[in-house]
């Protein structure tokens, strides 16, 4: 019996996932990821029959999708700021709102300066690699406490041919030298917020990169208390924050750096999402 065409696969897959809230766009994402195609190539191959290997693997991925397994983990990548980044279960999946943090840093700092920039808790390397792709003259340092995550970041840097440095470090423990910019998208979710989270995030993304003690504020407190050795006059710290944490994070840094200039910034949806501390 002949295998189905890709058009028939598309219809079958959608019928399988729509009851779980899946969309046709999700199906196309899965098929294109499986075949390493873009949408145009999918359209051009509608009448082509899928081979046994890819058909079996796609069926397995559809089954996992219906168990809330994230699409990005199923196909192994996520696009971020024009870069295609490998993602694994050891890394958070980069989010679109974090692209706004990259925008802010780029717009807020001169492209002509050779800044030393540290991306703390880099995960896939998303923020640091995005910055390096636009500001090739900046010296970018990527650090993470997780060696498996840092391995993914290194692979992404290599695939994108971006020259950055790496360090396995618990925040600033093994970081040397003064930095002009420190950026972080740290764990900031409180344990008691689990009941509000999507199953796909809660069940499959690394908890070490999601949750923090003290109502989600622990890592901000540590950054405020431990970053001093790396800062010089005029250094800036940029961080993503939870949408209800703005004033609390602002107070944490004002207590540690009384003379600093602190700016909260909203995301495209009007929620507090980013903060900058200028020393």
19 is in an annotated binding site: no
Dist. CA 60–CA 22, nearest whole Å? 16
203 is in an annotated binding site: no
Residue 162, classed as helix, strand or coil, is coil
124 is in an annotated binding site: yes
186 is in an annotated binding site: yes
Task: Supply the angle between the helices 147-160 and 126-134 in degrees, to the nearest 10.
Answer: 20
177 is in an annotated binding site: no
> DSSP secondary structure string, 220-256?
HHHHHHH-GGGEEEEEEEEEE--TT-HHHHHHHHHHH
196 is in an annotated binding site: no
Tokens standing for residue 256: 């540690």
The H-or-E segment that residue 83 falls in is strand 83-86
188 is in an annotated binding site: yes
* H-type alpha helices, 117-232: 126-134, 147-160, 199-204, 213-216, 218-226
258 is in an annotated binding site: no
Residues annotated in a binding site for substrate: 185-188
Residues annotated in a binding site: 121-125, 144, 185-188
Residues annotated in a binding site for S-adenosyl-L-methionine: 121-125, 144, 185
């Amino acid at each position: 019996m002949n295998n189905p065409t890709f058009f028939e696969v598309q219809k079958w897959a959608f019928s399988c996932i729509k009851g779980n809230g899946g969309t046709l766009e999700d199906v196309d994402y899965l098929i294109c990821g499986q075949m390493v195609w873009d949408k145009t190539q999918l359209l051009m191959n509608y009448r082509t029959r899928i081979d046994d290997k890819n058909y079996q693997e796609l069926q397995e991925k559809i089954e996992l999708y219906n168990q809330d397994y994230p699409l990005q983990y199923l196909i192994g990548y996520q696009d971020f700021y024009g870069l295609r980044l490998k993602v694994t279960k050891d890394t958070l999946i980069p989010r679109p709102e974090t692209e706004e943090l990259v925008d802010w840093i780029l717009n807020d700092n001169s492209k002509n300066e050779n800044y030393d920039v540290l991306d703390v808790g880099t995960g896939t390397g998303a923020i640091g690699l995005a910055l390096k792709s636009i500001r090739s003259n900046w010296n970018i340092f990527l650090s993470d406490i997780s060696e498996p995550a840092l391995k993914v970041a290194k692979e992404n840097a290599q695939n994108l041919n971006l020259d950055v440095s790496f360090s396995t470090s618990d925040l600033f423990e093994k970081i040397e030298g003064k930095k002009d910019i420190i950026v972080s998208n740290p764990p900031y979710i409180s344990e008691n917020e689990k009941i509000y989270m999507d199953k796909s995030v809660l069940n499959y993304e690394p908890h070490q990169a999601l949750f923090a003690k003290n109502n989600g504020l622990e890592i901000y407190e540590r950054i405020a208390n431990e970053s001093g050795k790396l800062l010089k006059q005029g250094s800036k710290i940029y961080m993503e924050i939870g949408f209800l944490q703005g004033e609390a994070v602002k107070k944490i840094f004002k207590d540690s750096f009384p003379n600093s200039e602190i700016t909260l910034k909203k995301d495209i949806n009007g929620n507090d999402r980013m903060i900058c501390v200028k020393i």
